[in-house]
Structure formats: structure tokens, C-alpha cells
């Protein structure tokens, strides 16, 4: 057998094949002729000679493949380009070409093509090869368990692939990049291939990782910075920071990718300040001690430029002076291309493009062009193409797999047949976000222009969980079973209630709201509530209708009876644990309400109006929950009206917008109608209550957001001779949660972090006397008036819809007053602290705060201070 490839070929020697064949071709002597027995003639072995000096032509009579275990021989023959009945020269170029083509597949480790038999002008070829093994698994050395999981996830997609030099190199680069991005610039990765003894033609890669020390930034030197302060320039390098003892949120590790991004942002900052020609001429990094880096940035700031003349061309529909006024750029202003573009194509109702696009001119464009640069002044020409008005043709919805099309369509402000409006498009996106059914980060409205001058609008959404569930239970000793079950279906479908195929777990998709809640502590405390909301009453207009009913019973007598069963009637322990007879009573509250809501178009489309009619019946006997009303039956019939404005961009993590609510509650003026005070003064509750809640959100630098809010409340009466209602008062302090009985008497619970629940209150003289006698407790007092002010700075950690997380620092001040004579809106209890919020669709908003109160409350345990505050299901008001 004659080996036509002369020696075995690997990936590193393909190019040597042709050189070696040429060498043999021109050699003399020993290499001039090679003999091989290749056949028989007349019973005798026939000796054939292949000469490299005189190649001969043969016809391929047969091709065989040897050495393969997993690859298909026919496929390999096809890849080689050799075919039976082909004419080839031996030695010849086709052999080396076949070897090269097979090696280029990257799955062969060794190849030899042999002339197995020559009979006359016929030749049988044998392709002998050795396959590369496949990657079965990784073994990591030098990493901790958690690191192994992270690295393994990045490279696991390579399992099952044929092991090649390129594959090994890519794995090395992938692993090294992981640690380079973490600041370990000198990480080394070595890989050793080991044959798998269990699985044939498989191998294990042993990966040795040496992270070495993390490279930190010791110093950043700025050359050429003269016009701006060094600290401002360094501040713009947000991910490239000098190491400092107190640096926590932005470590001083050096990441090349982040460094490049920071350089671009630095030039953008210079451009915003008018330095249009600023550039980083060069940069360098070096390590004087072999551990830490020093960075040198050479910056050419250039000159600062200003606007001079701004002219407009192409504007036939709008006057130049009107466009100039909307643009808001004057002669002498600092040249800022980014800000100029925002004023042209920025926020709706405040930029140039909206003037045209809100009137249907979808194809409008405005291009600012520098037409002259003289000294430090630049002339700009605003070149406008107004185009034609576009009418909306179709609305296309994608991604609403749960929510019905009509629920989404009825909320949109963009309708087929209307002129296109940029403002309507963006406000429609905000409205869809407020529904709570879709991920706010994934709502994408997309105008699609058509050839006939119309436009289709495509809304791409992604459903997210919107229902909440509350479930807890246990055994409370004397109380027996203690548990809570609550569920809120925010996208309920009443019409499909009889369609069992839609129960998953309840029919959904029509945008209605169903809320159920049951809470029990044995027979001592029980509460039940159910409410249903139809947001589009009649289906044609966004007029909402809500019906709710509830019942609460708190019976301390049941607790006393349980004590007597446990310890014996009249026993010392029963009397000891039963406590003061003041608490040995009961409290019951049953009520219902209907609410009608309407969206308003004036002063703008963000306003809404709500009106409610509610009735509550209180049955009280020897109860301490309502100061001033320990026994009797009271009826509370009230009309509640509120007007609100809502323009938040995202209900989970708001970056911009505001929310205001002004509400008023009125009981009928029974004393005025009767003319004389009733002997049973609280049989029918009367009075009025006013409340204001306001929230503002504004983005700060980076991802930080400022949240400021103010809350005010006042309780009033109709005549001087009548008394203020003991119900519906303001209880301030803590998280504003956990006082169910206070909520069930209509009390308004207002949180004030850093203080205990309900203790922030300025006593009136009467309250002080009753408190001294032990008739009331401070944590149950409610104010006639309250005020509270808050400022928060928020920072998002995760905006994933499955778990939205943000941190915050806060400062608050508030107080409540038991008498208007003592009311002083500037006498406030102050607090400050830090906190975190986690929003999960199934549980709502979870909050944890650490606050420090600066104005202790004398006369009560711990001076009324409470460091940690926990809240669930709602924002702290």
C-alpha cells in the first residue's frame, strides 16, 4: 500500500502538504521512485511504480473510508470531492485538495489518503482518518462553588460539540471575559483535554482558572482640562472610579468595556456644555506596582460655542415666530446639539415635532444644519419637510394573550379614521401601563406608514401577573384558628363566570376587578369583605361602577369566656389575663357602598371624578376602639366626592409624573334639619371631612428619582353646638397598617416611619385629662386634623416585572391634632431613614424601612419611637 499523502496531516500542517509533495517531486535518488505491490497478473504479483518525477493518470475504481466511528463515510467522500470514475493524477493536486477540504470541516484530527490497490490504470483509494472527540463535560479548578455555577452557565452551550482549537480558544476567552468584567484583568485560563473513559470518542476539558488579584484604579490623571473643574469631568466617568474607603455603589474596578463607554459619555457631556470639538486625543493605562492601575486621559477641550442666528425654511403651515417660541433657543445660548434635538423631537406638547404630528403630519421632519461657524458663534438653519397628513388605518395588537382585545382597544386614544397624533400615541402607552396587565417596560407602540398615505399603529405588549393573593394561618392558643385569606383578581371576566373552560383559576380578560378577603382570630375577631368593579359601565364610556360590602366583629367577651373555660370562672388567672373591664366588650361594623367614577377631558384627560354613597352601622358595647363612643348603635350615611389627576409614567417604579386627589365626605346635617340637638347625639353620624393627597416624581441624575408628597386632612362639623364625629379620624404613626379595628371605624391610617403605630398626636386638654384617667390610650386617639410632608430619593435595583426592587432614603415630618385651637402646621414630628421596596405581582408591594424619629413623644414606652417599619400590599400614605 502506498500512502499518497506521504505523512499524516493535522490542522497545523495542511499548508506543508503541498510543499512536501513538491519537494518529493523534484527529489532524485531514493525518492525518485517508490514501488508497491498493487495487483496480480498470471498468478504472479505485479509490481507497480509511482514516480513523483512522472505522475501518471488513473481512474478511481473504488473509495473506502477507514477509522471512522461516528461520522458518515459517504458524507466524508462527498466532502473530499473525490468520486468513483474520476480521472486523477498520482501524485496530483486532487489528493492534497481532498485532504484540505476534509480538514476544513474542523471535525478531523488526522487524515491519510492511500492508494490501496493499482490495477493497470485503475486505482482504489483508502481515506484513513481519526475523528476529533466531542466535549462531554467540564471540570473547573481554582473557582468557588458559586463561581463554578456562573461560569458553567456561560459555556454549557459548547457541550456536545467537536473539540477544536477554535472551540478551546473561545471557551478561554469567554471565561476570561467574565472575570475581566469584574475587574480581574490578569485572569489566566488554561485548558487540558482528557479522554473520557466511559463514553467513546468523548473528552473532558479540565479548566484551570487563576483570577489573580482584582485590578483597582489608583489614580486618574487629566491633561488638558482647563475650562471645566476636574471633579466634574471625573464624575462623568460613572463606571471608572478611583478607589476610596467609602466607595460602595460604584467599585473602583477597571473594566475596559465600561471605560470605553465612559469616554463616550464624557465627550457627550462636553458637547452639552458647548464644546462641540472636544475629544480625547489619547489615553493610557499602566500599573506601577503590578496590582493597581493608573489612567491618563489627554483631552482637547476646544472652544466653547454659542448659538447666533436661527433661521427656518420649509415651514408653510406654521409661522416662524411660533416655531421659534416653541423651540425656546435664543441667541447667545450655549450650543447643545442634544438639547436642541430634544426640543425638536422630544416630549409631546412641548416640542416642535408635536405641533405638526398632533395634527396628523406623521411624515414631518426637521433637520438642524450648521450653516456658518464664526469665532465662537454658530448659525443654525432649521430645514423642515412638512409632508402630508396621515389618517390612522388599522390598530394592530400583539402579545395580549390573556386580556381581551376590546379591553385594550377601548383604552386607546388612537382610533381608526382619526388623524395621527403623537401625543395620543404616547398617552395611550401610558394608559396601557396604568392598567397593570402588561409589563410597562415592554409596551411598544409602533406607527407603520402605508403606501396610500395612511398609517397602521401596532401595539406590542407582554402580559404580566396582575392578581394578588394573601394567605396565612395558624393556631392561636385560646383564640383557636387564626388565619387570613384574601385574593384580588384585577382582570376578572364576569360574563364568563358560567364558562368552565375559562376558569384558570377564575375567568379573566375583561378588565373587571373582584376582591375577596376573610380574616379570623377564632370567635374574637372576624372580618369579611367583597367588592366588584366594572371599569366601563355599559361598555361604551370609561365610567366605572363599584359595589362593596363588608362586616367586622370584634368580641372581647369571647376571649373572657375562653379564659374562664381554661382557668375556671372567677379564678385569679382568668381575672388577671382578662384585664380591665373596659376591654371586656364587643364591636361590630356592617356596611356597603356604591361608587361611580368618570374620566374627565377638562382641564386635561388625566382628571377623573368619583362619587360614592356609603352606609355603615356600628354596634358597640364597652369597647375601647372608639374614644368617646363606648356603647350604643351609630349609623353613618355618607356621600363621598373626589376629584383626582393621575399622570404617573409607571405604577411600579415611577420616574416622572404626578398624582393629586382632593376628596370630601359629607353626612347629612341632621342637627341643622332638626333645629335642636338630638338626645342620642351619635345615633346618626354627622359632619364633613376633607382630604388632600399629592405626589410628585422627577428624575434626577442617572437612575435616581425624587419623590415629594404632601398629605392633609380636616374633620369638620356643621354647627358650633354639635360635636365632632368620633369616627373617621386621623391616626398617624408607624406604617399605617396592622390596626384593623381602627380601619373598621373609618379611621384614616397615615404612616410616619420612625414612630410607633398611631402615637403621633398632639393632645387637646380634654384628651389629656381622659388619658390621665386611663379612659383612652394614646395609640387609639384620632386627630381632627393632620398634615404630613415627605421627600424621598429612590434608586432602582431591578425593574423585572416579576420582582421590581428599589432602594430609597427619606425624610418625613407630620403631626395630628385633637383640637383646632392647638393646630399648628409647623409643629411637626420629624424623622429620616432608609428603606427598600419590592413589588411582586402575587403579593403587591413589600416595604421595609429603618427610620429615626428626632422628636420623641413623652409619657409612653420607648418615647413612641420605632426603628423598623414593615408594610405590605400598599404604599405608606
DSSP string covering 66-82: ES-SSS-HHHHHHHHT-
Q: What is the pLDDT of residue 695?
A: 96
- Give the mean model confidence (pLDDT) for residues 514-539: 88
User: Band of the pLDDT at 80, cuts 50, 70, 90?
Assistant: confident
Has residue 303 got a pLDDT over 80?
yes
Who's near 335: CB < 8 A, 6+ residues apart?
A: 274, 276, 304, 305, 306, 307, 378
Least confident span in 354-368, 666-680, 706-720: 666-680
- Give the mean model confidence (pLDDT) for residues 82-104: 86
User: Band of the pLDDT at 420, cuts 50, 70, 90?
Assistant: very high
Residues 224, 236 contacting (CB under 8 angstroms): no
**What would the pLDDT profile of 65-77 be if each residue is shown by its tens digit?**
988 877 888 888 8
The domain at 689-872 falls in which architecture?
Beta Barrel (2.40)
Quick count: other Cβ atoms within 10 Å of Cβ 138? 19
Least confident span in 205-214, 311-320, 705-714: 205-214
Tell me if the domain spanning 2-131 has CATH number 3.10.20.310. Answer: yes
Q: Which of 625, 634, 549 is nearest to 587 (CA)?
A: 625
Higher pLDDT, 115 or 597: 597
- Give the mean model confidence (pLDDT) for residues 249-261: 83
Rounded Cα distance, 220 and 296, in Å: 6
Has residue 722 got a pLDDT over 50?
yes
Q: What is the mean pLDDT of the chain?
A: 84
Q: What is the pLDDT of residue 292?
A: 84
Has residue 477 got a pLDDT over 60?
no
- Can you list the positions of beta strands (E) in 543-606? 543-555, 586-599
Has residue 173 got a pLDDT over 70?
yes
CATH class held by domain 217-300 = alpha beta
Higher pLDDT, 604 or 765: 604
Q: What is the pLDDT of residue 713?
A: 96
C-alpha cell at 745: 371605624
User: Band of the pLDDT at 397, cuts 50, 70, 90?
Assistant: very high
Angle at 413 between CA 456 and CA 799, to 5 degrees: 90
Alpha helices in 207-311, H assignment, sequence order:
230-235, 256-272
Q: Which of 797, 824, 802 is nearest to 813 (CA)?
A: 824
Rounded Cα distance, 25 and 13, in Å: 19
Residues 553, 588 contacting (CB under 8 angstroms): yes
Q: Is residue 342 within a helix (H) or strand (E), and if so which, with residue range? A: helix 337-345
Q: What is the pLDDT of residue 5?
A: 45
Residue 291 φ/ψ, nearest 5 degrees: -120, -55
Has residue 619 got a pLDDT over 70?
yes
Rounded Cα distance, 138 and 172, in Å: 12
Residue 729 CA to its chain's centroid (Å): 38
User: Band of the pLDDT at 575, cuts 50, 70, 90?
Assistant: low
Q: What is the pLDDT of residue 565?
A: 66
Has residue 253 got a pLDDT over 90?
no
Higher pLDDT, 565 or 430: 430
Has residue 414 got a pLDDT over 50?
yes
C-alpha cell at 683: 345615633
Count, in order, helices (H) and strands (E) of the chain.
17, 39
- Write out the residue limits of the CATH 3.10.20.310 domain(s) in the chain: 2-131, 134-210, 217-300, 306-385, 392-460
Residues 761, 781 contacting (CB under 8 angstroms): yes
What is the C-alpha R_g of the chain? 41
* 3-state SS class at 343: helix
Rounded Cα distance, 698 and 97, in Å: 68
Q: Is 622 exposed, middle or buried (0-12, 13-18, 19+ CB in 10 A)?
A: middle
Least confident span in 42-51, 592-601, 609-618: 42-51
- Topology, domain 392-460: Ubiquitin-like (UB roll) (3.10.20)
Has residue 502 got a pLDDT over 60?
yes
Give CATH for domain 134-210. Answer: 3.10.20.310
Residues 207, 176 contacting (CB under 8 angstroms): no
Q: What is the pLDDT of residue 842?
A: 62
Highest mean pLDDT among 123-137, 176-190, 396-410, 767-781: 396-410
Q: What is the pLDDT of residue 14?
A: 42
Has residue 280 got a pLDDT over 50?
yes
Q: Is residue 423 within a helix (H) or strand (E), and if so which, with residue range? A: helix 422-435
- Write out the residue limits of the CATH 2.40.160.50 domain(s) in the chain: 689-872
| Greatest distance between any 2 Cα atoms in the chain | 144
User: Band of the pLDDT at 39, cuts 50, 70, 90?
Assistant: very low
Rounded Cα distance, 211 and 180, in Å: 9
Higher pLDDT, 319 or 197: 319
Higher pLDDT, 616 or 478: 616
The sheet carrying 293-300 orders its strands as: 217-223, 293-300, 279-286
Q: What is the pLDDT of residue 44?
A: 42
Q: What is the pLDDT of residue 70?
A: 76
Residues 253, 181 contacting (CB under 8 angstroms): no
Has residue 843 got a pLDDT over 80?
no
pTM: 0.68
Rounded Cα distance, 224 and 279, in Å: 10
**What would the pLDDT profile of 208-245 be if each residue is shown by its tens digit?**
999 888 888 889 999 999 989 999 999 889 888 888 77
CA dihedral 144, 149, 155, 156 (to 10 degrees): 140
Residue 669 φ/ψ, nearest 5 degrees: -80, 75
Residues 803, 841 contacting (CB under 8 angstroms): no
Q: Select 306-385's CATH number: 3.10.20.310, 3.40.50.1100, 3.90.1200.10, 3.40.50.880.
A: 3.10.20.310
Give percent of the chain above pLDDT 70. 83
Has residue 564 got a pLDDT over 70?
no
User: Band of the pLDDT at 6, cuts 50, 70, 90?
Assistant: very low
- Give the mean model confidence (pLDDT) for residues 760-781: 70
Rounded Cα distance, 380 and 337, in Å: 11
Q: What is the pLDDT of residue 132?
A: 85
- Give the mean model confidence (pLDDT) for residues 413-434: 93
Q: Which of 694, 689, 717, 710 is nearest to 787 (CA)?
A: 710
Rounded Cα distance, 216 and 254, in Å: 6
- Give the mean model confidence (pLDDT) for residues 22-36: 35
Q: What is the pLDDT of residue 739?
A: 47
Has residue 413 got a pLDDT over 60?
yes
**What would the pLDDT profile of 145-168 be if each residue is shown by its tens digit?**
888 988 999 998 888 888 888 899
Rounded Cα distance, 393 and 142, in Å: 62
User: Band of the pLDDT at 308, cuts 50, 70, 90?
Assistant: very high
SS3 content of the chain, % helix, strand, coil (to 5): 20, 40, 35
Give me the DSSP letters along 753-776: TEE-TT---BPPHHHHHHHHTTSS
Rounded Cα distance, 806 and 393, in Å: 41
Q: Is 797 exposed, middle or buried (0-12, 13-18, 19+ CB in 10 A)?
A: middle
Q: Is 301 exposed, middle or buried (0-12, 13-18, 19+ CB in 10 A)?
A: middle
Has residue 744 got a pLDDT over 60?
no
Has residue 580 got a pLDDT over 60?
no
**What would the pLDDT profile of 369-382 be if each residue is shown by its tens digit?**
999 999 999 999 99
Quick count: other Cβ atoms within 10 Å of Cβ 252? 19
Q: What is the pLDDT of residue 590?
A: 94
Least confident span in 4-18, 71-85, 311-325, 780-794: 4-18
User: Band of the pLDDT at 28, cuts 50, 70, 90?
Assistant: very low
- Give the mean model confidence (pLDDT) for residues 510-527: 86
Buried-state track 693-729, b at ≥16 Cβ within 10 A, e below 16: bebbbeeeeeeebebebebbbbbbbbeeebebbbbbb
User: Band of the pLDDT at 560, cuts 50, 70, 90?
Assistant: low
- Give the mean model confidence (pLDDT) for residues 710-724: 91
Amino acid at each position: 500500500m502506498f500512502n499518497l499523502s506521504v505523512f499524516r496531516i493535522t490542522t497545523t500542517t495542511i499548508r506543508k502538504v503541498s510543499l512536501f509533495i513538491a519537494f518529493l517531486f523534484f527529489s532524485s535518488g531514493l525518492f525518485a521512485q517508490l514501488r508497491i505491490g498493487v495487483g496480480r497478473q498470471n498468478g504472479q504479483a505485479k509490481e507497480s511504480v509511482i514516480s513523483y518525477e512522472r505522475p501518471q493518470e488513473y481512474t478511481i475504481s473504488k473509495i473506502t473510508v477507514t477509522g471512522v466511528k461516528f461520522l458518515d463515510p459517504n458524507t466524508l467522500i462527498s466532502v473530499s470531492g473525490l468520486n468513483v470514475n474520476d480521472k486523477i493524477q498520482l501524485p496530483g493536486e486532487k489528493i492534497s485538495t481532498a485532504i484540505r477540504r476534509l480538514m476544513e470541516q474542523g471535525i478531523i484530527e488526522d487524515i491519510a489518503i492511500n492508494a490501496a490497490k493499482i490495477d493497470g490504470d485503475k486505482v482504489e483509494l483508502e481515506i484513513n482518518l481519526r475523528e476529533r472527540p466531542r466535549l462531554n463535560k467540564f471540570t473547573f479548578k481554582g473557582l468557588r462553588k458559586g463561581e463554578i455555577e456562573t461560569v458553567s452557565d456561560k459555556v454549557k452551550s459548547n457541550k456536545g460539540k467537536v473539540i477544536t482549537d477554535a472551540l478551546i480558544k473561545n471557551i478561554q476567552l469567554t471565561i476570561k471575559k467574565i472575570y475581566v468584567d469584574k475587574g480581574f484583568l490578569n485572569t489566566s485560563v488554561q485548558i487540558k483535554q482528557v479522554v473520557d473513559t466511559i463514553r467513546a470518542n468523548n473528552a473532558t476539558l479540565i479548566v484551570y482558572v487563576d483570577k489573580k488579584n482584582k485590578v483597582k484604579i489608583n489614580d486618574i490623571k487629566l491633561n488638558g482640562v482647563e475650562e471645566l473643574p476636574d471633579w466634574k469631568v471625573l464624575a462623568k466617568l460613572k463606571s471608572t472610579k478611583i478607589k476610596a474607603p467609602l466607595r460602595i455603589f460604584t467599585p473602583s474596578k477597571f473594566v475596559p468595556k465600561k471605560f470605553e463607554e465612559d469616554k463616550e459619555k464624557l465627550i457627550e457631556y462636553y458637547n452639552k456644555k458647548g464644546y462641540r470639538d472636544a475629544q480625547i486625543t489619547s489615553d493610557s493605562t499602566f500599573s506601577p506596582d503590578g496590582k493597581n492601575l493608573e489612567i491618563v486621559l489627554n483631552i482637547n477641550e476646544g472652544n466653547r460655542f454659542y448659538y447666533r442666528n436661527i433661521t427656518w425654511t420649509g415651514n408653510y403651515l406654521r409661522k416662524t415666530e411660533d416655531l421659534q417660541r416653541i423651540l425656546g433657543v435664543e441667541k447667545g445660548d450655549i450650543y447643545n446639539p442634544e438639547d436642541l434635538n430634544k426640543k425638536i423631537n422630544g416630549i409631546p406638547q412641548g416640542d416642535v415635532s408635536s405641533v405638526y404630528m398632533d395634527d396628523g403630519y406623521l411624515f414631518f421632519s426637521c433637520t438642524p444644519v450648521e450653516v456658518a461657524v464664526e469665532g465662537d458663534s454658530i448659525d443654525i438653519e432649521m430645514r423642515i419637510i412638512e409632508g402630508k397628513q396621515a389618517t390612522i388605518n388599522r390598530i394592530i395588537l400583539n402579545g395580549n394573550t390573556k386580556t381581551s382585545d376590546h379591553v385594550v382597544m377601548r383604552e386607546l386614544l388612537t382610533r381608526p379614521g382619526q388623524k395621527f397624533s403623537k401625543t395620543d400615541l404616547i398617552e395611550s402607552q401610558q394608559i396601557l401601563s396604568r392598567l397593570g396587565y402588561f409589563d410597562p417596560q415592554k409596551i411598544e407602540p409602533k406607527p407603520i406608514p402605508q403606501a396610500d398615505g395612511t398609517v397602521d399603529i401596532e401595539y406590542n405588549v407582554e402580559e404580566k401577573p396582575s392578581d394578588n393573593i394573601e394567605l396565612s394561618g395558624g393556631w392561636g392558643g385560646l383564640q383557636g384558628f387564626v388565619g387570613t385569606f384574601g385574593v384580588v383578581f384585577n382582570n376578572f371576566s364576569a360574563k364568563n363566570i358560567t364558562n368552565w373552560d375559562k376558569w384558570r383559576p377564575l375567568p379573566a380578560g375583561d378588565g373587571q376587578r373582584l376582591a375577596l378577603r376573610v380574616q379570623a382570630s377564632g370567635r374574637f375577631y372576624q372580618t369579611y369583605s367583597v367588592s366588584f368593579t366594572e371599569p366601563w359601565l355599559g361598555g361604551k364610556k370609561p365610567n366605572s361602577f363599584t359595589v362593596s360590602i363588608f362586616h367586622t366583629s370584634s368580641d372581647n367577651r369571647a376571649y373572657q369566656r375562653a379564659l374562664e373555660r381554661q382557668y375556671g370562672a372567677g379564678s385569679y388567672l382568668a381575672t388577671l389575663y382578662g384585664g380591665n373591664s373596659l376591654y371586656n366588650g364587643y364591636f361590630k361594623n356592617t356596611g356597603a357602598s356604591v361608587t361611580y367614577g368618570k374620566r374627565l377631558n377638562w382641564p386635561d384627560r388625566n382628571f377623573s371624578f368619583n362619587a360614592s354613597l356609603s352606609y355603615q352601622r356600628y354596634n358597640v358595647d364597652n369597647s375601647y376602639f372608639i374614644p368617646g363612643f363606648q356603647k350604643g348603635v351609630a349609623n353613618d350615611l355618607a356621600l363621598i366626592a373626589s376629584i383626582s389627576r393621575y399622570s404617573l409614567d409607571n405604577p411600579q417604579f415611577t420616574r416622572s409624573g404626578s398624582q393629586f386627589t382632593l376628596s370630601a365626605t359629607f353626612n347629612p346635617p341632621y342637627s341643622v334639619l332638626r333645629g335642636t340637638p338630638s338626645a342620642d347625639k351619635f345615633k346618626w353620624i354627622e359632619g364633613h371631612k376633607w382630604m388632600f393627597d399629592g405626589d410628585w416624581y422627577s428624575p434626577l441624575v442617572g437612575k435616581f428619582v425624587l419623590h415629594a408628597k404632601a398629605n392633609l386632612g380636616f374633620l369638620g362639623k356643621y354647627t358650633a353646638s354639635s360635636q365632632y364625629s368620633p369616627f373617621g379620624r386621623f391616626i398617624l404613626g408607624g406604617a399605617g397598617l396592622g390596626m384593623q379595628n381602627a380601619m373598621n371605624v373609618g379611621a384614616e391610617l397615615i404612616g410616619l416611619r420612625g414612630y410607633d403605630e398611631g402615637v403621633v398626636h398632639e393632645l387637646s386638654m380634654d384628651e389629656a385629662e381622659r388619658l390621665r384617667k386611663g379612659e383612652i390610650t394614646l395609640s387609639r386617639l384620632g386627630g381632627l386634623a393632620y398634615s404630613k410632608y415627605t421627600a424621598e430619593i429612590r434608586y432602582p435595583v431591578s425593574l423585572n416585572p416579576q420582582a421590581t426592587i428599589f432602594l430609597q432614603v427619606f425624610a418625613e415630618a407630620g403631626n395630628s391634632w385633637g383640637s383646632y385651637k392647638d393646630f399648628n402646621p409647623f409643629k411637626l414630628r420629624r424623622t429620616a431613614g432608609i428603606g427598600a421596596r419590592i413589588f411582586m405581582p402575587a403579593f403587591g408591594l413589600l416595604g421595609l424601612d429603618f427610620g429615626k424619629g428626632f422628636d420623641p413623644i413623652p409619657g409612653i414606652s420607648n418615647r413612641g419611637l420605632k426603628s423598623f417599619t414593615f408594610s405590605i400590599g400598599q404604599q405608606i400614605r
